[in-house]
Amino acid sequence: MASSGSGWREVVRIVTCLVTAVLCASVAVTSSAPPVAAASPSDRYTFRNVKIGGTGFVTGIVFSQARKGLAYTRTDVGGMYRWNGTTESWTPLLDWVGWDTWGYMGVASIAASPSNANKVWAAVGMYTNGVDPNNGAILRSHDKGGTWKTTVLPFHLGGNMSGRTMGERLAVDPNNDNVLYLAAPSGNGLWRSTDGGVRWARVNGFPNSGDDPQTPGGAEDAGLVWVTFDKTTGRAGTRTKTIYVGVADKDDPVYRSTDGGATWAPLAGAPTGHLPHKGVVDPVNHLLYIATSDTTGPFSGGKGDVWKYHTVTGAWTRISPVPSTSDDNYFGYSGLTVDRRNPGTIMVGTQVSWWPDGIIWRSTDSGTTWSRIWDWDAWPNRKLRYDFDVSDTPWATMGEQSNPPILVPKIGQAISSMEIDPFDSDHMLFNGGPGIAGTKNLTAWDTAGTVAITPEVEGLEEGAVQGLIKPPGGALLSAMGDVSGFRHDDLNAAPKTIFTSPVFTTTRSIDFAERNPKVIVRAGDFNDADRPGDSHAAFSTDGGATWFQGTEPGGVNVGGSIAAAADGGRFVWAPGDSGQQVVHSVGYGTSWTPSTGVPANAIITSDRVNPMKFYAFSNGTFHVSTDGGASFTATAATGLPASNWNLRVKAVPGREGDVWVAGGATWTTYGLWHSTDSGATFTRVSGVEQADNIGFGKAAPGRAYPALYTGALIGGQRGLFRSDDAGASWVRVNDDRHQFGGTPEALTGDPAVYGRVYFSGYGRGVLYGDRSVRPPR
C-alpha cells in the first residue's frame, strides 16, 4: 500500500505537543506513564515482534559491574534493551513510551550502578534541532528497567543526532550511586544529581560548554560528551574526588576535577586537534585512555588518535595503532574498552571505516603494541583473526557475496561501541553486524586462535518500518529503512535475505495485486549515480521470494509511492523526487508512460477489485483513474486534509470504490474519512478525533465487512484500535505498557486471522498483536 514517506510523524507530533506540552524550566519529577481516562472499550491482546534481529543502529553498550550476565544497550530511535546472559537475549525496556513522549525512544546515554544491580538510569530525547518538541529527560529504575520514574530536563537531548555514539554522557559515581553526572549537548554544560537522579542542577563552575566545529554554536553541538571517574580517589559512600569530562572542543578536549566536582580545569597537556569520543579510566594502572576523531560522527570522520594519560605522573602518550600523521589513517577512533579483569588489555575500533570494513585493534600492554582483527595479505586478500557466523541471522550478508577485499558479512563500518564483559574476559559485545555482535572466546586472539563472532540480536528489534502488506495466502512483507525489506514465511524465524534485485537503501512503498496476490511491487531509494543500471521500482511474481526490475524514468533517486492493479497487469508510480511526474506501465515496468491529470508526488493506491481503477491524493484533492492510470480526474470531494504529510490512502479488498483516508497535519483536517463511491464524496468518521493510519483484516465472526485497524486518538485516548462494524465503534487493542513509541508508520490486518494486526513501533521493528482469547475461526 502507498506510504506518504518519512517525516510526517515528527511534523504532526510537533503540532500536538506544542499545544499540550508544558516545557519545564525546572527539573521536577514527573510520572513516566501518566494515567488517562478510559476512552473506549478495550480488547486484551498479546504483542510480539516479528523476528528479524537488529537492523538498526546501536549507539551504546553498558555492562553492569554489579552482576554478571547483565548489560544494557541504547539505540538512536528504537529505545533501550536489557541483556540477559542466561538466555542470551535482549528485552525492550521502553515500550511504554507513547505519542506524547515519542522522543524518549532516542536514548542518548545509559548508566548502571556499579554497586546495586537493580539500579539503572537513561538519558532520553531524540533531537536537539527542534524536531522533538519535548525536552530531554532522565529515567531511573530500581528494577533493572522494568519500571521507570522520570525527571524532565530544561533542555533537549539528541539520541539521534550527530555525536550520538560519543559517551557515555551519563555516569554514576562508582563510590556513591546517589551521585550522577550528565554531560549535556548544545551548550547546556555539565549537570549533577546528588539524590540518585531525582533532581538535577547545572554545575555552574564547569567552564566549557563544548565546541563542535561542524556546527559551531548551533543546536547540533555535541557539547560535553562523556564523564568518567577514577574510583581510587574515593571510598564507599563518599564522592569520588577525581572526575574527567570529555568536551567537543579541539583545543581543550578533557577537563578534570580533583575535589569531587567543586572546581574544574582543562587537563594539562591534553592532545589538541581532535574530538574526544571516548574516555575510560584504568584505575589499576593509573591510566586514562581517550579515543579521538576529527568529527563527531557517527558516519563521518577521517583522522584520529588514541592517547593514554598517566594520572600520577601527568604524562601523555600517543598510542594510536595507526597515528593520524600516517597516510594509512583514514578513520577516527571510537569504541574504546578496557578489560576490567586484565586492565592492561585494551581495545579500540574505527569510528567509521567504509572500505573494506571496520577495524578493531587489541593491545595487552596498555597500548604499547597492537594487533588488528584483520590484516592485508597478498592483494586483494585479507587475513582474518575472526570467523563471523551469521547462520542464525542469514540476511546479515545483505544479499551480497564475498568479493575480496570486500567480505560478507561485514563486522561493521562504525564500531563506536565495544565493551568487554567485566566478569568474563572472553566475552565482548560491539555494535557490529546486524546491530550487535559478540564473542565468547575473545582471548583466543592473544594465542593466534580464531575469534568466533556471532550476531547477538535475539530480542533486539530496532528496524524502521515504512510499510507492511499481507497478501491473501502469502507471506508478510515489510518495506524497511536501511535494509530494503523482508519476506516472512515464519514470524518466528529471521529471514534468509533482504529484498534484492535491486537492493534499496530504504523501501518507501510496497503493494500487491489483490486478485493476483503473488504479484508484488515495491519502490525505494538509492543514489542513481552510484547504480545507473538499477531501477527504483522492483517486481515479484512469486509473492516476494524473488525480484526483478524493468526500466524507469530519468532522474529518479527516491522511491515515492507505487501501486499494482487488482489483477497485477499494470502499475502506477509517483516517484518521490520533487517534481517527478506520475507514470504508469502495462506489464512489469518495461516502459513507463506519463499519466495526465495528476500532480507530481501524489500518493497512489489501486482499487482492490477493478484493475483499471487507481486513486491518487495530492494536497487535499482526490483523483481517480478509470483507464489503468493513463489519466486521472479530480473528484469534487471536499474537507480532506490539505497536505500529503501524514496521509494514508487505502482501498478495501473485495469492494470496488471503497476507500479510506487517514491522517492530516492540521487541527481542522486531522482524522479518518471513508468513501464508498470511488472518492466522489467522503464522510468523516465521527468519534475519531485524529488518525494516522488505517488497515484491514479478516472480518469478525458473523460480519461481512473487514475488521478495521487504526492508530488514532479516539475518545481523548491515543492508541491502536479495531472496529468490527465499519468504523461505527472502536475498541482499543493496546494498553499503556505497549505503546511502542506511538502511532504506527505501517499497519495492516491479517486477511486469514481475525483480530491479528501487524504494525510498526517507533524504531521497534515489525510487531504483531493477537487477541489473548480468540473465538473459533
Which of the residues are catalytic?
76, 482
What string of DSSP letters covers 524-554?
Answer: EE--TTT-TT--SEEEESSTTSS-EE----T
Q: How far apart are CA 88 and CA 59, in angstroms?
A: 20
The three three-digit cell numbers of residue 454, written as one number: 556471532
Q: Return the sign of the alpha-carbon dihedral for residues 574, 575, 579, 582.
A: negative
- Picking from 299, 646, 718, 686, the residue whose alpha carbon sits closest to that of residue 482 is 299
Q: How far apart are CA 53 and CA 88, in angstroms?
A: 13
Sheet with 287-293: strands ordered across: 275-282, 287-293, 306-310, 316-318
Q: How far apart are CA 518 and CA 245, in angstroms?
A: 57
Hey, which residues does 454 pair with through a beta bridge? 438
Hey, which residues does 694 pair with through a beta bridge? 710
Query: Which helix (H) or strand (E) covers residue 118, if one does?
Result: none
The three three-digit cell numbers of residue 121, written as one number: 538510569
Which residues have CB under 8 Å from 751's CB, separation 6+? 470, 471, 472, 653, 696, 697, 698
Q: Identity (one letter) of the amino acid at 699?
A: A
Task: Examine residue 471 and say whether the peptide bond preceding it is cis (omega within 30 degrees of 0).
Answer: no
Tell me 591's DSSP state. S
In this structure, what is the dihedral angle of CA atoms 91, 95, 96, 98, given to the nearest 10 degrees? 160
Which residues have CB under 8 Å from 42's CB, separation 6+? 731, 732, 733, 735
Q: Identify whether the C-beta of residue 532 lies closer than 8 Å to the C-beta of residue 434.
A: no
Residue carrying C-alpha cell 483536517: 669
Report residue 18 CA to chain centroid gap.
24
Q: Identify whether the C-beta of residue 226 lies closer than 8 Å to the C-beta of residue 168.
A: yes
CA 192-131-214 angle, to 5 degrees, is 70
How distant, in Å, are the alpha carbons of 254, 270, 288, 635 from that of 247? Answer: 6, 12, 15, 58
Which residues have CB under 8 Å from 274's CB, separation 6+? 250, 253, 292, 293, 294, 303, 304, 305, 324, 332
Region label for 398, one of left (φ > 0), alpha (ψ between -120 and 50) or beta (otherwise): left
Counting beta carbons within 10 angstroms of the beta carbon of residue 372, is it exposed (0 to 12), middle (13 to 18) or buried (19 or more)? middle
Buried b (16+ CB within 10 A) or exposed e, 505-538: ebbbbbbbbbbbbbbbbbbbbbebeeeeebbbbb
The three three-digit cell numbers of residue 496, written as one number: 534468509
Q: How many CB atoms lie within 10 A of CB 117?
A: 16
Q: How far apart are CA 611 and CA 523, in angstroms?
A: 20
Strands (E) located in 569-610 = 570-574, 583-586, 593-594, 603-606
First to last CA, the chain: 26
